[in-house]
Structures are given as C-alpha cells and as structure tokens.
Amino acid sequence: MTDPWEAQREALGAFIREQRKRANLSLRQLAELTSLSNPYLSQVERGLHQPSVRVLKAISGALNVSAETLMTQAGLIDAITAEAAETAGTETAGTGKPDVPGTEEAIAADPRLGGDQKAALIAVYRSMLASASVKES
C-alpha cells in the first residue's frame, strides 16, 4: 500500500533543497545552522521523513523563509484550514457549542490574525499537545 503523505513529503523536501541551494548552503552548513544532523536533513530533503513543527521552524530560520511558507509546503496549514472549516460547522449534540477545544476556538476567532497565522498557531498547539500526550504515556 502506498503512503498518502509520500508526495507531500517529497514536495516539501524538494522545496527545502531548492531554498538551501538558493541560499548557497551545503547540507552540512544547513545542519550546523539548525543543530540537526546531516543525515536527518538529507532524509527530509529526499521525502523520507515528515519534520516536526520545531524542525520546520529551525529550517525556516536558517533559510530565511517564513515558517508559514514551510508549513504550507508541508501541508500543515492547508490541512488545518480545511479541518477547521469542517469543525466550525459541527456542534456538540444538544449544546449548540462548536466541537472545538477552547484554545483553537480562540485562535480561529481572533480577528488580528490572518488565516495562515491561525493555521500555523493551531499546528504548533496540536504539535505540543501530541508531544505532551506522548510524555504522559
């Protein structure tokens, strides 16, 4: 069975490689700037790993590309935006309240934030929740 995220990882890896080359950096130099290992970055560029939000932020900083741009390339922002749109229409049975955690609801409702910013914040928030639940296990 094929991995449905494989094409997305490959596209992200190709984008990172392109940005690294535009910045005139070797893979080793990027590894030093991000404090990530050279083999891991190579695997990310080849689409073998889906980097975490933390890794995307480190790479974006080293390449002078916005974290939102990398998250969009990784498919995080589009997936979250689509999921938020679906969730916004659902309600918890009988309560009339959306079935969205309070933090995500607050982010989505904040008029000071753009759509990409909201999606990026929600991605970071969910990443932290996932990380916390792994530590609790």
Distant-in-sequence contacts of 109-116, Cβ < 8 A, 24+ apart: 115/81, 116/68, 116/72, 116/77
Cα three-residue angle 118-122-103, rounded to 5 degrees = 100
* Pick from 1-10, 13-22, 23-32: least confident: 1-10
pLDDT at 136 over 90: no
Q: Within 10 Å of residue 116's Cβ, how many Cβ atoms?
A: 18
- List, for residues 111-130, the tens digit of each pLDDT value: 888 777 777 777 777 766 76
Inform me whether the pLDDT recorded for 3 exceeds 60: yes
Per-residue pLDDT reduced to its tens digit, 21-58: 999 999 999 999 999 999 999 999 998 988 888 898 89
Give domain limits for the chain: 6-67, 76-136
Taking the model in full, what pTM does it have? 0.58
Burial of 25 (0-12, 13-18, 19+ CB in 10 A): middle
- pLDDT band of residue 97 (cuts 50, 70, 90) is very low
Between the alpha carbon of residue 86 and those of residues 69, 100, 126, the distances in Å are 23, 11, 17
CA dihedral 74, 75, 80, 86 (to 10 degrees): -170
Question: For domain 6-67, which CATH number applies: 1.10.3720.10, 3.40.30.10, 2.40.10.220, 1.10.260.40?
Answer: 1.10.260.40
Fill in the DSSP letter of residue 98: B
